[in-house]
């Protein structure tokens, strides 16, 4: 277990694990659920056909570079951002990391970067995989970088927890970090006048940043409920499963997870 993240080797991950890799020189991390058979189910911003054609060289679009190894790599339902990719295409030559669950508060607070662990406990692997595969067929709503992103998807698959206040910050530790850092700096700014030492001011700011992340962790929040994946669309007001025509177009496409 590292101070920033938990890097692992491929042989160490198991079906049902929440994995992630860093993009754009560690600017952000991309998360998914490893479902076995070198396959990952993950969530990305949905793009319409026109956008895909205009940005076919975009590396974040798994359909822009067909996988030569797995025919079903890049599978997704029409108008859905939930994608099945092989592990190689998911990592895109990046390192592999495993998201940690049920960590102690002290460990959580020592993690400098958000989006690497949670105090919440994970459900059994078969439940996690069921949720991921169900959402692959039925979607996970609209992508939102702060309220419904790839980390939110993986966290839901692992825990089944849903935040009741959909107007607030989502489950994502990355989103909490983005919001928490400026908030901590803003709150601690008046204290700068009382603390001539830059070290003391930096310590207070760092402490507030860590506490703001901890307060938004799904393991300690009081506004979360357990929602069966079959009821997820109803609870969030999403559209139901994809239209029958979309299902007919993809029903004969084999998805291999073992």
Instruction: Give catalytic residue positions.
Output: 30, 42, 150
Tokens of 85: 């990719």
Residues 187 and 29: their CA atoms lie apart, in Å, by: 27
Residues 41 and 19: their CA atoms lie apart, in Å, by: 10
Residues 184 and 114: their CA atoms lie apart, in Å, by: 14
User: Which residue in this structure is represented by tokens 């359909």?
Assistant: 63
């Amino acid at each position: 277990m590292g101070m920033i993240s938990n890097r692992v080797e491929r042989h160490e991950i198991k079906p049902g694990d929440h994995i992630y890799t860093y993009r754009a020189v560690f600017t952000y991390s991309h998360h998914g659920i490893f479902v076995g058979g070198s396959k990952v189910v993950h969530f990305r911003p949905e793009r319409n056909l026109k956008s895909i054609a205009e940005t076919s060289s975009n590396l974040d679009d798994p359909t822009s570079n067909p996988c030569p190894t797995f025919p079903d790599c890049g599978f997704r339902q029409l108008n859905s951002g939930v994608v099945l990719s092989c592990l190689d295409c998911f990592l895109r030559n990046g390192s592999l990391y495993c998201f940690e669950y049920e960590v102690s508060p002290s460990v959580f607070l020592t993690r400098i970067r958000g989006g690497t662990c949670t105090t919440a406990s994970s459900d059994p692997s078969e439940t996690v995989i069921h949720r991921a595969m169900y959402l692959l067929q039925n979607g996970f709503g609209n992508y939102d970088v702060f309220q419904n992103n790839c980390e939110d998807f993986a966290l839901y698959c692992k825990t089944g927890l849903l935040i009741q206040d959909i107007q607030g910050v989502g489950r994502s530790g990355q989103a909490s970090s983005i919001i928490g850092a400026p908030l901590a700096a803003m709150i601690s700014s008046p204290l700068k006048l009382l603390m001539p030492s830059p070290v003391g001011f930096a310590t207070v700011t760092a402490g507030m940043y860590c506490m703001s992340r901890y307060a938004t962790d799904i393991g300690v929040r009081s506004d979360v409920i357990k929602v069966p994946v079959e009821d997820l669309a109803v609870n969030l007001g999403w559209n139901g499963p994809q239209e029958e025509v979309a299902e007919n177009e993809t029903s004969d496409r084999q998805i291999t997870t073992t």
